[in-house]
Structure 1
Amino acid sequence: MGNSIHYNTDNYALYRKLVFDLIDSQDPKGFVPDIAPEFVRFGGGFLDSPEWGSSAVILPWQLYNWYGDKDILEKAYPMMTKYVAYLESKSDNHILNYGTGDWFDYGPRQPGEAQLTPKALTATAIYYYDVLLLSKMSSILNKTADAALYTKQALAVKQAFNGKFLNATTNVYSTGSQTAMAMPLSVGLVDNSIKAAVLKNLTDSIALHNYALTAGDIGFHFLIDALDKGEQSRIIYAMNNRDDVPGYGYQLKKGATALTESWPALTNVSNNHLMLGHIMEWFYSGLAGIGQEEGSVGFKQLKIRPQPVGDITNASGTFHTPYGWISTNWKIQNNNFFLTVTIPTNSSANVYLPVKSGQAVYINGKKQSLYIDETAIIKCGSGKYLIEVK
């Protein structure tokens, strides 16, 4: 839920406080419990599940990525290294196989622990992501020896993961579930040479199953991320713009006024739960098109990539970055595309436009000389721009 919450709320102080809660809650063995502060001691997967304990690594990275807080990386570094060492000690040839898995995925049984995706897949994928992030954070902190060590470890986990879960003939991961296919795509476990094939298998499978949601609270974020990055917003739209199968519209039709723990809003589980709200991140990054480029910190280098889909003819969004407010507002009118975008001071943006062959691009009324294929990329400094595709 981190990305969805971040787009709506300045959560810097809250998340920084949570990092210290995680540090305080870390067990002497090295694991971080699923719940921190741990007022009640839970057991089983509720005590130690890699998909939840990995907050110990992911939260400090998010604070750095979103707000440029390098200090929190220093503060959290001992916790992060100890947690990754713990995961390594629990692995068997770099494969982890314990925890609750893709919590509350939508399968044939009462929701709870993962039904459609092996626990080993989600646990090992998040383990790889932890090690990969730790290699990046080590480098940022100029811990070059550690960075090299974690880069090597990440590669070993990646090779083990693909050796166990990837069918090299069909380019399908494990059971082929939404989570099984999306997590490797999202965290970087899929080699570039087969990335397009794996993404196509994912989207084809979703279409074959009538665009129904099945990914759970772990997998749904990665599904949204993989489809968004893969320029498949039409699939996200088709899966969520409906009320005939369990999902957001279905919950609303049943009278839900808050996020529910289960996709079908079952009455015997929580119906006021901070869970499964990951669509919000796509409202901003995909629909409104507000994000930052890979490698950017604190939204210094913005990525403006609005994605018109379905019968949506206009959308707008605002987001307060460390440099100030960014806003986008687009509409489609008479087959023309109009985008107004405001870039804050001391930042810049790459604006990705939906352009077809033969169309012309105008910025503040001036026609641009561009080589047009399927996407035009406009580089903008701070300021306000009216961009038209005619």
Structure 2
Amino acid sequence: MRSTMVTELRCEYLKNPMGLNVPHPRLSWKLLTDRRNVRQMAYRIQVSLGGENFAEEQLVWDSGRVESDESVHVEYGGAKLKSAARYMYRVRVWDDQGEESPWSDSAFWETGLLETDDWQAGWITPSADAIEPQTKEAFYLRKAFELNGKRVVHAAVFATSLGLYELELNGARVGDSLFTPGWTSYNHRLQVQAYDVTEQLLNSQEHVIGAVLADGWYKGRLGWQDRSGIYGDRRGLLLQLHVRYDDGTEQIIASDESWEAFADGPIRMSGIYEGETYDASREIPGWSTLGFDDSVWHPVETLEQSKDMLIGEQSERVKVTEIIKPVSLIHTPAGEIVLDMGQNMVGRMRFTVQAPAGAKLTLHHAEVLDKEGNFYTGNLRTAAQEVTYLCKGGGEESYQPSFTFQGFRYVRLAGFPEPIDLSHFTGEVIHTDMQPTGFFECSHPLINRLQQNIVWGQRGNFLDIPTDCPQRDERLGWTGDAQVFIRTAAFNYGIAPFFTKWLRDLAAEQLPNGGVPFVVPDILDEGSHSSAAWGDAAVICPWTLYQYYGDKRILEEQYDSMTGWVEYIRSQGDNELIWNTGFHFGDWLGLDAKENSYIGATPRDLICTAFFAYSTSLVSKTAAVLGREEDVEKYGDLHRRIVQAFADEFITPNGRLAAHTQTAHVLALMFDLVEGETRKRLADTLAEYVRSENMHLTTGFVGTPYLCHVLSENGYHDIAVQLVQQEEYPSWLYSVKQGATTIWEHWDGIKPDGSFWSDDMNSYNHYSYGAIGDWLYRAVAGLDIDEKIPGCKRLVLRPNPDSGLTYARAQYDSLYGKVFSGWSKREDGSVVYEFQLPPNMTAQVRLPAAAGKSVRVDERDPAEVLMTAPMQQEDGIVMLELGSGRYTVKVG
């Protein structure tokens, strides 16, 4: 394949998104070729409102030839978008050889209802006179309707709810999404989903559409403070079906008072923490089909509920992403029957059973067994994680819960007929259906398991929002956890839509004075906001998205939130440069904490001031990206003064840090708060602190994500390697050796003697310490981003074979295509490196300890290989400039 092809078209990161409410969507594409050093020189985009017909009269935008190498985030520049319309688009490019590509395959985006006035539907709920609004039972709503006899060419449903909903049309489920409409800051933002139902309406003129409503996050219990109904006390449905005919006319079927309701169905109770109770004898066969007898159903009524907070869907949906079968059946010492799924997962169990009518089957879910091998639920606190199924009898029946999820590896069974057949049970893994993008592997089996644990921890906790844990009575969007992990998360999965949605909620929840809640969406009490390192998510997360995806729009959208947070800090206390007031989590769960304390020994005012400096520096950089020159100077000057104040307050005249903890030294070094001899002294001291702990860390949530990076960047990569490969407590591999399949909240969640950390806060699926993944990808495999040219347009590949391994490799599927960086040691002492870059990307490769050694590229002299610049050497480092293509480099 010599010609350049355009592939993988995306709109707002998504493939063929529906219900998009973005006035100027951005389009991206990838290039495919087998030539090296291929760059795009120009592009042309056509957008049509006439199906796949790109005839001139159907075009709403033809960009013409645009001289540009941009293939990511190219903004639509055509006519104003219409509501509920499908826009087809295609792309062609010209490469650096002047060759014109063929047109790409066409793709589309479909708009949602762009204006509040586009809604003809009303919010409906069962009549309070007929059905108790506070019942725990699910509500069933239905509407029979008739089409007008014309040929249907397209049909789309737009739906949302107060609570959780699932839709049916003519007896079949609409889509495969779960937990819709998702969890947002409901008072400010409520997502609307769109579904293509054209095929389901083609063969008949008469149809029935229905919905099931449960409490979910909107009305159910949230948090450990036993609060329910935080957003409202009544469930409701808003739905509008748009049917377009071949003559261009449209018919709308909307939720209104003509619908009917029922509540005496099989879902007797459903809660996020509680689980679900299902009575199969109360199933309602055919309730969403024609001919159903609805004589006992009840009227609905409309709710006085605004539509002003409605927004288009902004992230991928939650779905079943993987199926897992149990690996064994355990009979515990306590005499209980337990399934072992072999993996700590988040989702639900599906099972098939044959039992008498009325038989009660119960499943309890837990993460671990205790040291005697018994089922352990202490760390769930008040979350029941219980699923109860009452059989209808008469043959084989199957079930899986609809409106709840559990965090578990083990499932305790009660009431099931014996012998238990493992083939009748299936674990369904559930999370936001993000695109997997990252891969890491090395010669150390335990590190490979650690990498898998990091990924599983992300999957389990990225269920519509970035949660802190998926099992106990919490499952909240803790800001601190999100910011420490976001860079690792961005390698593992395509998280831009996921975090864009969450950050908009953060901005919506932000206090008028700029303070940031501990959790987003915010469901805690009034004073739960604005801890250092937690509130800094407002700045760090948008900046990280910009680094990984080159997304200037997220910086523009979040800029007021970012500056608001920095100004909030600045206004605290009597010294605008030292933050020493308010409540802070400090170095949360640091191992140097005092007895019976969760907060590490690092002074909180030092942590606060360090993060103040860091966030201020990022705001200044953001202002530069956005061309806000006054703010560049304003926040640049503020940053310089904070750094000086930090030195005055926390650095002794002899250049020592007046806080003798690992985390204190990590932050000062990571955030560039010291330089010159003071920097070297602090790095030396940090290394000595680690050595004095017998090569162990003492850091908590604040220090751990940066610890190994700081060591590697300051001449102590060998110590970072020893820390990561340490197998004794406390270490990353300790939990792996203990059998962990996800990341633990505590370094000693299970102690060496088999006992547990305190029940009150002991999650076995808590991704924060998984931030070490970022070090593995960047400092070991060497796959790093050039901050000056973000979005992976240009990379810095810095593989490090001096990492105690025989090989390491990382692959990342960027917005431009797949990137690979790997190395392996040979018996003759040479090192072989492999690199791959997609078209339209460049990289600087930095090979350590290569100066003076033989360097061969594809078994040839580097000067003979087509590269973007000659090989150079500097301070013992060999540097290569590479364009797209695959390269093998041998050193030695």
Is the TM value for this pair above 0.5?
yes
* Distance apart, 1:202 and its partner CA: 1.6
1:29-51 deviation digits (Å, cap 9, x = unpaired): 320111000123375xx532021
- Equivalent residue letter for 1:326: V
1:363-387 deviation digits (Å, cap 9, x = unpaired): 1112347557522111111111110
Partners of 2:561 and 2:774 lie apart in 1 by 28
- Tell me if the contact between 1:352 and 1:377 (Cα under 8 Å) persists in the aligned partners: yes
1:242-286 deviation digits (Å, cap 9, x = unpaired): 222212222223332221111122522222212211210111001
Secondary structure (helix, strand or coil) at the match of 2:843 reads strand
Please say if 1:174 is aligned against 2:658: yes
Residue of structure 2 equivalent to 1:271: 764
- Equivalent residue letter for 1:104: L
- Tell me if the contact between 1:233 and 1:307 (Cα under 8 Å) persists in the aligned partners: no
**Percent sequence identity over matched residues?**
30
Of residues 9-18 and 106-115 in structure 1, the stretch that sits farther from structure 2 once superposed is 106-115
Secondary structure (helix, strand or coil) at the match of 2:763 reads coil
Secondary structure (helix, strand or coil) at the match of 1:78 reads helix
| Residue 585 of structure 2, aligned match among 100, 125, 139 | 100
Please say if 1:234 is aligned against 2:718: yes
In structure 1, the gaps of 5 or more residues are none
Query: Using a 3 Å threshold, how does the CA distance of structure 1 residues 91 and 186 change in structure 2: closer, same or farther?
Result: farther
Residue of structure 2 equivalent to 1:290: 783
Secondary structure (helix, strand or coil) at the match of 1:172 reads coil
Residue of structure 2 equivalent to 1:335: 829
1:282-328 deviation digits (Å, cap 9, x = unpaired): 11001111001231210122111111235411111100122111012
- Tell me if the contact between 1:103 and 1:112 (Cα under 8 Å) persists in the aligned partners: no
1:189-213 deviation digits (Å, cap 9, x = unpaired): 1124532332222222212321111
- Equivalent residue letter for 2:664: A
Partners of 2:608 and 2:795 lie apart in 1 by 32
* Distance apart, 1:240 and its partner CA: 2.0
Residue of structure 2 equivalent to 1:73: 555
Residue of structure 1 equivalent to 2:542: 60
Residue of structure 2 equivalent to 1:20: 504
Secondary structure (helix, strand or coil) at the match of 1:280 reads helix
Of residues 291-300 and 368-377 in structure 1, the stretch that sits farther from structure 2 once superposed is 368-377
Residue of structure 1 equivalent to 2:120: none
Please say if 1:376 is aligned against 2:878: yes
Partners of 1:152 and 1:104 lie apart in 2 by 34
Query: Using a 3 Å threshold, how does the CA distance of structure 1 residues 183 and 111 change in structure 2: closer, same or farther?
Result: farther
Partners of 2:597 and 2:763 lie apart in 1 by 12
Query: Using a 3 Å threshold, how does the CA distance of structure 1 residues 378 and 176 change in structure 2: closer, same or farther?
Result: farther
Residue of structure 1 equivalent to 2:613: 128
- Equivalent residue letter for 1:343: L
- Equivalent residue letter for 2:632: A
Partners of 1:91 and 1:256 lie apart in 2 by 44
* Distance apart, 1:111 and its partner CA: 6.8
Partners of 1:55 and 1:353 lie apart in 2 by 34
Please say if 1:4 is aligned against 2:505: no
Residue of structure 2 equivalent to 1:86: 568
**RMSD (Å) for aligned C-alpha atoms:** 1.9
Task: Select the structure that is richer in strand.
Answer: 2
Secondary structure (helix, strand or coil) at the match of 1:180 reads helix
Residue of structure 1 equivalent to 2:462: none
Secondary structure (helix, strand or coil) at the match of 2:613 reads helix
| Residue 700 of structure 2, aligned match among 216, 228, 234 | 216
Number of residues paired by the alignment? 387
Please say if 1:388 is aligned against 2:871: no
- Tell me if the contact between 2:806 and 2:825 (Cα under 8 Å) persists in the aligned partners: yes
Partners of 2:807 and 2:787 lie apart in 1 by 27
Partners of 1:5 and 1:111 lie apart in 2 by 32
Please say if 1:316 is aligned against 2:800: no
* Distance apart, 1:110 and its partner CA: 4.9
Residue of structure 2 equivalent to 1:244: 728
Q: TM-score, normalised by structure 2?
A: 0.42
Partners of 1:168 and 1:157 lie apart in 2 by 18
- Equivalent residue letter for 1:339: Y
Secondary structure (helix, strand or coil) at the match of 2:787 reads coil
Query: Using a 3 Å threshold, how does the CA distance of structure 1 residues 295 and 110 change in structure 2: closer, same or farther?
Result: farther
Task: Select the structure that is richer in helix.
Answer: 1
Query: Using a 3 Å threshold, how does the CA distance of structure 1 residues 332 and 78 change in structure 2: closer, same or farther?
Result: same
Of residues 276-285 and 227-236 in structure 1, the stretch that sits farther from structure 2 once superposed is 227-236
**Larger Cα Rg: Structure 1 or Structure 2?**
2
Of residues 349-358 and 232-241 in structure 1, the stretch that sits farther from structure 2 once superposed is 349-358
* Distance apart, 1:91 and its partner CA: 4.2
Please say if 1:151 is aligned against 2:633: no
- Equivalent residue letter for 1:137: T
Query: Using a 3 Å threshold, how does the CA distance of structure 1 residues 210 and 67 change in structure 2: closer, same or farther?
Result: same
* Distance apart, 1:147 and its partner CA: 1.2
- Tell me if the contact between 2:592 and 2:699 (Cα under 8 Å) persists in the aligned partners: no
- Tell me if the contact between 2:846 and 2:878 (Cα under 8 Å) persists in the aligned partners: yes
